[in-house]
Amino acid sequence: MSEIIKLGEIEVQVTFKKIKNIHLSVMPPNGDVTVSAPERIDLDMIRMYCISRLGWIKKERKPFLEQERETPREFIYNESHYLFGRRYKLDIIEAYSDVPYIVKHSQIVLYVKKNSTLEDRQKVMEACYRIELKRVLDELVDKWKSIIGVELHEYKIKKMSTKWGSCNQKDKRLWFSLELAKKPVECVEYVVAHELIHLIERSHNNRFFELLDKHFPRWAKYKDELNELPLGNL
């Protein structure tokens, strides 16, 4: 069950779970505030807790709110787009092809139908991102499953506006944001390790960060880099 608490202009999404303690988080990339709370605690108590942490919440949200955003993409010739942290120039070819795109040198070539719309081109670009991200994730997920020692049933990629990834511990399923296709591979690797550790520890508690430090000691560097990069518009 979920509820929304409003603290002025800040919305807090509260989810009740079978846990012992309240867990407050400010989530990338947009600074959304979430609370996981024990089922026995009423909403007024959670509101008072959030008010007591309001200074911390505002401090944690500030970097996300000030983070640079990409300008809206038009998907036109010579426009800049990023793939795994590297900038490419876009080329648009209105012709049928067995493959929807090609990545070569410093260029991404999109093959689109004649008189294609912005939405048509965006769909082809999203297909490019999805295919390229899956290729990288297949390798990283296999690598980090072995390192961390966890079982994963499946992972999926989807457009996510508030998270880089998420974990369903019960079903052993992970989700990754399509936006990660734009970010450096090292940042993608951090998100993979982060979400796989959630298969062991659901919450961002001391145990979680001890596991993250053990398996991926450079995680803070890539977390900061990821959260400082411009946010996209997919």
In sign, the C-alpha dihedral spanning 178, 88, 30, 138 is: positive
Residue 37 has pLDDT above 70, yes or no: yes
Whole-angstrom Cα distance, residue 85 to residue 46?
40
User: Which has the higher per-residue pLDDT, 171 or 27?
Assistant: 171
- The architecture of the domain spanning 117-228 is 2-Layer Sandwich (3.30)
Instruction: Delimit the domains of the chain by residue range.
Output: 2-66, 117-228
Tokens of 229: 């990069």
- Using DSSP's 3-state secondary structure scheme, residue 149 falls into coil
Q: Which residue has the tokens 């709110």?
A: 65
* Segment 68-99, tens digit of pLDDT: 666 778 899 999 999 999 999 999 999 988 89
Do strands 23-27 and 10-17 pair parallel, antiparallel, or not at all (unpaired)?
unpaired
The DSSP symbol for 182 reads G
How many angstroms separate the CA atoms of 130 and 234, rounded?
11
Please say if the pLDDT value at position 126 is more than 90: yes
Per-residue pLDDT, 189: 97
Look up residue 58 and give its amino acid.
K
Element (DSSP H or E) covering residue 24: strand 23-27
pLDDT at 232 over 60: no
